Structure 1
Amino acid sequence: MVSPAIAFAFIPFLMTLVIRYRYYFLLFWRAVVLRKVQDYVTGLSREERAFHYVMSNCIPGDPENILGTFDEWCFHSEYLSNLGPEKGRILERLIYENAPQTVLELGTYCGYSTLRMARTLTLNARLYTVEMDERNAAVAEKVIRMAGFDEDTVEQIVRPSDEVIPQFREKFEVDKIDFVFMNHWKRCYLRDLQLLEDYNLLREGSIILADNVIFTGAPHFMQYAKSCGKYGWKIHRTHLDYFRHIRDGMAELTYTGVK
């Protein structure tokens, strides 16, 4: 049995731990505890709850307003792992600067980053967005169409990414992909990057932008990108979506094809 003196000795340590990591505790509360309570009470997923809020408060056909309504929900109601405004601006800038004609998004989630990219595309460019979770894909499909983007601009594919990539050229008649945005399961980043290479879907100069490479991190993906000799790379240092006190980053890779 622990004596009271020893127990009291740990109090300053515990207080220091709580203060130092308070934002991580807050993230856990909002993303896990509150989510489970709300799931039980409402019978809806948090993504569906967010969609109902957005649908009730946004202006259909106005992507900027829809994005802002999503941000309002995420800042003040429940946490969603959307891209958020800070990272969203980086994504849009890269789309604008590189003017890709063919974009592949891995991880549609609720369609937030899809809208960010779709509204920045040049004329006749096309975005293919892949989501394996059928419930999230259903939400994203409604969001994308509510924003005014048709299937000629944005096509959603509801399948696992490792099934889509090998069949991508044959099914969608796409020779090369100009821009890839990865925001799905971090453990899949390296696998899917190598699939893109194996099926010769990247051209010299293709951009791969990968989110959350600092929090929660994708170490094997980054180690490969730095050491394989096929990519130029840099890190955009940012913060976790809707948590400005938690550091995060996005990795921008440029495919050179050099081994």
Structure 2
Amino acid sequence: MLVLCLGCRMWLTLIYSCISGAALLYALYRWVIPTAVQYHGGLALIWHDVIVERMLDTLTQSTRPQRLLNAVQKNATRGDPRSVVKAIDDFCRHKEWAMNVGDEKGCILDSVVSEINPAAVLELGTYCGYSTVRIARLLPPHAKLITLEFNPDFAAIARQVIAWAGLEEKVQLVEGASGDWIPKMKEQFGITTFDLVFLDHWKDRYLPDTKLMEECGLLRKGSVLLADNVICPGTPDYLEYIRSSPRYESRYFKSHLEYTKVEDGLEKSVFKG
């Protein structure tokens, strides 16, 4: 009987240890580490965009964009862009971080779009279509938004998000490299110039693509470039060029990296010709 009791105690101790360990790991994953990286850009990106994403991809046998789309289809009303934006923001704040422009910087994006009231918009970097929906829902009738996405898997998800928002008629999603498509804009899409360009793709492409748009005559006097993530991860060569060039008048909008407390912002640059 004594041996049996000792064996039971050992098993109970082992079970309690496993439960305690699991609870500790869950607390670290769910609250402690996310809180700790809230104020450090590099750590936040490594944690959310590398460690957590790969772990969840393995556990769920799906991708983050697929999980984001599922959240939209489950929680957003079809044909209602605002509900699509809200569903993605809720998913990213409470379930799983994603590299959208986010709700805080999204309000700045909204204000710029509303101020310009553009008829022709180019977005560089679609990802899952969050900023595409934010922009397209504010465009006037007959306006056109062309959005470029290099990754075909992202593009496939973005098409479904855009369709769920009911904005297919306003959006032309093009797959491929920005450097390949920018010189073909006039010929392929009948674009003379863009009123607004939103840069949110590979950060090392901001500067070469801006110069390419200049060379191709896609910017007119008064065209606005709005660049995301200019502080985190950062685009120092772009900022140096855009702020020192007499061809632009620039203003920095201080904010935070999407869904964190890390400083980031948007750079709005008006082309002066």
Same fold by TM (over 0.5)? yes
Write the distance in 2 (CA, Å) between the matches of 1:253 and 1:104: 15
Distance 1:202 1:29 in 2: 38
- More deviation in 199-208 or 92-101? 92-101
| Residue aligning to 1:178 | 195
Paired position in structure 2 for 1:8: none
What number of residue pairs does the alignment pair up?
A: 237
Residue from 74, 86, 109 that aligns with 1:56: 74
1:7 counterpart residue number = none
Query: Hey, what does 2:133 align to over in structure 1?
Result: 115
1:248 matched to 2:268? The reply is: no
**Preserved contact between residue 107 and residue 131 of structure 1 (Cα < 8 Å):** yes
Q: Which runs of 5+ in 1 are unaligned?
A: 1-17
Write 1 or 2 for the structure with the bigger share of helix.
2
Cα distance per residue 1:126-167 (max 9 Å; x no partner):
10000010000000000001111123x111001111111000
Question: 1:93, CA displacement in angstroms?
Answer: 1.0
- Output the amino acid matched with 2:148: V
Structure 1 residues 197-251: Cα deviation after superposition (integer angstroms, max 9, x where no partner):
00011000000000000111101111111222110001000001001x2100100
Aligned partners of 2:235, 2:228: CA distance in 1, in Å? 9
Provide the secondary structure at the position in 1 that maps to 2:71: helix
Alignment of 1:96-111 (within 5 A): 96-111=114-129
> In structure 2, what is the Cα distance between the partners aligned to 1:254 and 1:202?
10
Whether 1:207 aligns to 2:224 is yes
Identify if the C-alpha distance between structure 1 residues 163 and 27 changes in structure 2 by more than 3 Å, giving closer, same or farther. closer
**Equivalent in the alignment of 2:95:** 77
Distance 1:187 1:50, change over 3 A: same
Instruction: Return the match for 1:165 from 182, 188, 198.
Output: 182
Counterpart residue number, 1:196: 213
Structure of greater Rg: 2
**CA deviation digits over 1:148-200, x for unaligned, max 9?**
1123x111001111111000001101111110000001000001000000001
Residue 236 of structure 2 is aligned to residue 219 of structure 1? yes
Q: State which drifts further: 87-96 or 102-111.
A: 87-96
Shift of 1:43: 2.1
Q: Give, as a single letter, the amino acid of the residue that structure 2 aligns with 1:144.
A: I
Q: SS of the residue aligned with 1:179?
A: strand
CA drift of 1:27 comes to 4.7
Kept in 2: contact 1:31–1:78 (CA 8 A)? no
**How much has 1:22 moved relative to structure 2?**
3.7
SS of 1:235's equivalent? Answer: strand
Give structure 2 stretches of 5+ with no counterpart. 1-32
| 2:71 partner letter | Y
Query: Do the aligned residues in 2 keep the contact of 1:74 with 1:242 (CA within 8 Å)?
Result: yes
* Aligned counterparts of 2:243 and 2:36: Cα–Cα separation in 1: 30
Identity of aligned residues (%): 39
Cα distance in 1 between the residues matched to 2:269 and 2:211 = 13
Are 2:186 and 1:130 equivalent residues in the alignment? no
